[in-house]
Structure 1
Amino acid sequence: MYSLPEPIRHAIESGRAPSPPQVLLRLLQLVDDDCTTMARLATLVEQDPGLCTRVLTAANSPAIRRGKQLRSIEGCLIALGTRLVRSIATCLSVQSLFDERTATRAVDLSAFWTHSLLVAELSRSLATSSGYPRPDEAYLAGLLHDVGELILISALGDPYLQLLAGSASEAELADRETEQLGVHHGQIGTWLADQWQLDSPFADGILFHHLPAEQIVTAAQLPQVVWLAHAAASGDAVPDDLERLAEKLFGDRSGSPLAALRDAAEQRMRVFADAIGIAPLESAPSGSPTGLPRVLGLRRGAAETGADAAAGQLAAMIGDKALLQPLQEDLCTLESDAALLLSLRESARILFDLNHLAFLLADPLDGRLAGQGIAGQEPIFGQVSIVLEEQRSLAAAAVLSGAIRSSYDQAPAPAKSLMDIQFARALSSSGLLCIPMPGRNRTVGVIVAGLTAGQHSRLTHRLPGLANFSRIAGVTVENWREAQDARKQTEDNAAAHFARQARRTVHEAGNPLTIIKGYLKILDSKLPQGAGVHHELSILTDEIERVASIVRRMSEVPAARDNDQAVDVCDLVRELLLLYREALFDSRGIVIETALPARPIHVACDRDSIKQILLNLWKNASEALSRGERFQLSLTDDVLHQGRRFAELKIRDNGPGMSEQAMGALHRAADGQLGAARGGRGLGLSIVGTLAHRLEIAVTCRSKPGHGTMIALLLPAPDRTERRGGSEAKPN
Structure 2
Amino acid sequence: MPQVLLRFFNAAGSETTSTEALANLVLQDPALSARILTAANAAAFRRGAELRSIKQSLLVLGTRMVRTIASCLLVQSAFQRVPGSDARDLAGFWRHSLLVAELTRGLAAELGFGDDEAEEAYLAGLLHDVGQLLLLGGLGDAYGAILARDPGEDGLSELEHAVLDTDHGAVGAWFVDQWELPSLMADAILFHHLAADKVAGLDRLGRLLWCAHAVCTAKLGSQRIGLQGIERLIGLDAARLDALHDAALSRVEALATALDVAKAPRQQTVPLRVALRLPDAREPPPVDKHDAALQAVTLPMTALQALPLDLSAVHGETDLLLCLQEAARILFGVRQLAFFLLQPQRQVLSAAGTGLGRGALQRLEIALDADGSQCARAALTRELIVASNVDGPEATPTDRQVARALGADSLIYLPLLASGALVGVMAFGVSPVQRTRLSGRSALLENFASVAAANLGAWRQMREREAQVAAEVGGRFVLQGQRVAHEVNNPLAIIRNYLTLISNDAAGGGSGSVQQADIAVLREEIERLSGIVTNLTFDTAAPVAPGGAIDLNQLVEAMRTVYEASLFGAASVRLELELPPEPVFASVDRDQVKQIIFNLWKNAAQALRPGEVVRTSLTAHVNQNGSMYASIVIQDTGPGLPAAVLGSLYRPLPTAQGAPRTDGRAGLGLSIVLALVERLRGSISCLSRPGRGTTFTILVPEPQRTL
CA distance in 2, matches of 1:221, 1:688: 60
Number of matched residues? 685
Alignment of 1:122-161 (within 5 A): 122-127=103-108, 130-132=112-114, 134=116, 135-161=118-144
Please state how far the C-alpha of 1:312 moved relative to its aligned partner: 0.8
How far off is 1:274 after superposition? 3.6
Matched, 1:566 2:549: yes
Instruction: Please name the residue that 2:342 is paired with.
Output: 362
Match of 1:618 among 601, 605, 624: 601
| 2:63 paired residue number | 82
Q: TM-score, normalising length from structure 1?
A: 0.82
Whether 1:464 aligns to 2:443 is yes
Matched with 1:635 is 618
Question: Aligned-pair distance for 1:329?
Answer: 7.2
Tell me the secondary structure at the aligned position of residue 101 of structure 1: coil
Q: 1:352 to 1:647 in 2, by over 3 A?
A: closer
Q: What is the aligned partner in structure 1 of residue 698 from structure 2? A: 713
Distance 1:575 1:472, change over 3 A: same
How far, CA to CA, are the matches of 2:203 and 2:675 in structure 1?
Answer: 51
Q: 2:188, 2:206 within 8 Å by CA — same for their partners in 1?
A: yes
Superposed CA offset, 1:647-693 (max 9, x none): 44434444433345544556xxx554779999979854444444444
How far apart are the structure 2 equivalents of 1:623 and 1:234? 79
Cα distance in 1 for partners of 2:106, 2:336 equals 39
Q: Is the 8 A contact 2:356 2:406 kept in 1?
A: no
Contact 1:107–1:294 (Cα < 8 Å) also in 2: yes
Partner of 2:533: 551
Instruction: Report the Cα distance in structure 2 between the residues aligned to 1:648 and 1:333, rounded to whole angstroms.
Output: 43
CA distance in 1, matches of 2:457, 2:78: 28
What amino acid sits opposite 1:164 in the alignment? L
Structure 1 window deviating more from structure 2 (190-199 vs 367-376): it is 367-376
Judged with a 3 Å threshold, the aligned counterparts in structure 2 of structure 1 residues 491 and 714 are, in CA distance, closer, same or farther, namely closer
User: Residue 92 of structure 1: CA displacement?
Assistant: 0.9
2:409 corresponds, among 419, 427, 430, to: 430
Aligned match of 1:338 in 318, 322, 333? 318
Shift of 1:619: 3.7
Q: Which amino acid aligns with 1:34?
A: E
For the Cα contact (< 8 Å) 2:208–2:234, is it kept in 1? no
CA 437–592 in structure 1, closer or farther in 2 if over 3 Å, else same: closer
Deviations 1:397-419 (Å, cap 9, x if unpaired)?
3334443221349xxx9953232
Shifted more, 509-518 versus 195-204: the winner is 195-204
SS of the equivalent of 1:84 reads helix
Secondary structure at the aligned position of 2:166 is classed as coil
Change (3 A) 1:184 1:480: same
The corresponding residue for 2:230 is 242
Q: Is the 8 A contact 1:665 1:674 kept in 2?
A: no
TM-score, reference length from structure 2: 0.84
Structure 1 residues 600 and 206 mapped into 2: Cα distance closer, same or farther (>3 Å)?
same
Distance 1:182 1:278 in 2: 34
The answer for the alignment partner of 1:724 in structure 2 is none
Distance 2:582 2:309 in 1: 72
Name stretches of at least 5 consecutive residues in structure 2 with no aligned partner: 221-225
Flag the 1:619–1:246 CA change in 2: closer, same or farther, 3 A. Answer: farther
| AA of the residue aligned to 1:145 | H
Tell whether 2:315 aligns with 1:315.
Answer: no
Counterpart secondary structure, 2:300: coil
Any conservation in 2 of the 1:393–1:415 contact (CA below 8 Å)? no
Change (3 A) 1:633 1:335: closer
What secondary structure does 2:440 align onto? helix
User: 2:475 aligned to 496, 504, 508, which one?
Assistant: 496
- Indicate how the Cα distance of structure 1 residues 513 and 631 shifts in structure 2: closer, same or farther if over 3 A, else same: same
Equivalent-residue separation in structure 2 for 1:329 and 1:601 (angstroms): 57
Aligned to 1:541: 523
CA distance in 2 between counterparts of 1:72 and 1:665 reads: 34
Q: How does 1:221-232 map to 2 (within 5 A)?
A: 221-232=204-215
Tell me if 1:371 matches 2:351.
Answer: yes
Over residues 47-106 of structure 1, what are the superposed CA-to-partner deviations in whole Å (9 max), with x where a residue is unaligned?
A: 222122222333333444455644433333333333332222122111112211376432
Mapped contact 2:45–2:61 kept (Cα < 8 A): yes
Note the 1:7-26 alignment, pairs <5 A: 20-26=1-7
Q: Find the counterpart in structure 2 of residue 293 from structure 1.
A: 272
Instruction: Report the CA distance shift for 1:417/1:715 in structure 2 as closer, same or farther (over 3 A).
Output: closer
Q: Distance in 2 between matches of 1:264 and 1:710?
A: 64
What is the deviation of 1:599? 3.5
The residue number in structure 2 matching 1:11 is none
Tell me how far apart the structure 2 counterparts of residues 492 and 700 of structure 1 sit (CA, whole Å): 32
CA drift at 1:227: 4.1
Q: Deviations over 1:485-511 (max 9, x none)?
A: 444444443333333333223222222
TM-superposed CA distance for 1:318, in Å, is 1.9
1:440 to 400, 419, 427: 419
For the residues of structure 2 that align with 1:642 and 1:490, how far apart are their CA atoms? 40
Query: Residues 546-588 of structure 1, C-alpha deviation per residue, up to 9 Å, x if partnerless?
Result: 2222222224877743436322222223333333444554444
**CA 1:508–1:631 in structure 2 vs 1: closer, same or farther (change >3 Å)?**
closer
Contact 2:303 2:447 in 1 (8 A): no
Query: How far 1:198 moved relative to its partner?
Result: 3.5
8 Å CA contact 2:357, 2:405 repeated in 1:
no
**CA positional deviation for 1:302:** 8.8
- Structure 1: distance between partners of 2:311 and 2:544: 44
Q: Which residue of 2 aligns with 1:54?
A: 35
CA RMSD of aligned residues (A): 3.8
Q: Is the 8 A contact 1:145 1:186 kept in 2?
A: yes
Is 2:159 the partner of 1:176? yes
Distance 1:681 1:344, change over 3 A: same
* Greater mean deviation of Cα atoms: 217-226 or 311-320: 217-226
* Amino acid paired to 1:175: E
Q: Is the CA contact 2:44–2:355 (under 8 Å) kept in the aligned structure 1?
A: yes
Q: CA deviation at 1:425?
A: 1.6
Instruction: State which drifts further: 120-129 or 313-322.
Output: 120-129
- Choose which of 2, 9, 12 in structure 2 pairs with 1:31: 12
- Please say if 1:609 is aligned against 2:592: yes
Taking the aligned partners of 1:706 and 1:120, their CA distance within structure 2 comes to 58
Which of 142, 145, 153 lines up with 1:162 in the alignment? Answer: 145
Does the 8 Å contact 2:151/2:159 carry over to 1? no
Deviation of the 1:466 alpha carbon: 1.7
Which SS does the other structure have where 1:434 is aligned? Answer: strand
2:378 corresponds to:
398
The amino acid that maps onto 2:550 is V
Which residue matches 2:223?
A: none
What is the alpha-carbon distance in structure 1 between the residues aligned to residue 560 and residue 264 of structure 2? 88
Return the match for 1:595 from 578, 581, 590.
Answer: 578
Checking the alignment, whether the CA contact within 8 Å between 2:3 and 2:290 is kept in structure 1 is: yes
Cα displacement (A) at 1:542: 2.4
CA contact (8 A) 2:347 2:368 kept: yes
Between the aligned partners of 2:671 and 2:106, the Cα distance in structure 1 is 49
Matched with 1:8 is none
Distance 1:634 1:93, change over 3 A: same
Q: C-alpha separation between the residues in 2 aligned to 1:699 and 1:366?
A: 42
Which sits farther off after the overlay, 318-327 or 425-434?
A: 318-327
Deviation string, structure 1 residues 705-730 (Cα, Å, up to 9, x no partner): 34444443344433343xxxxxx3xx
Using the alignment, how far apart are the partners of 1:382 and 1:358 within structure 2? 9
* Structure 2 counterpart of 1:115: 96
Q: Which residue of 1 aligns with 2:680?
A: 695
2:485: which partner in 1?
A: 506
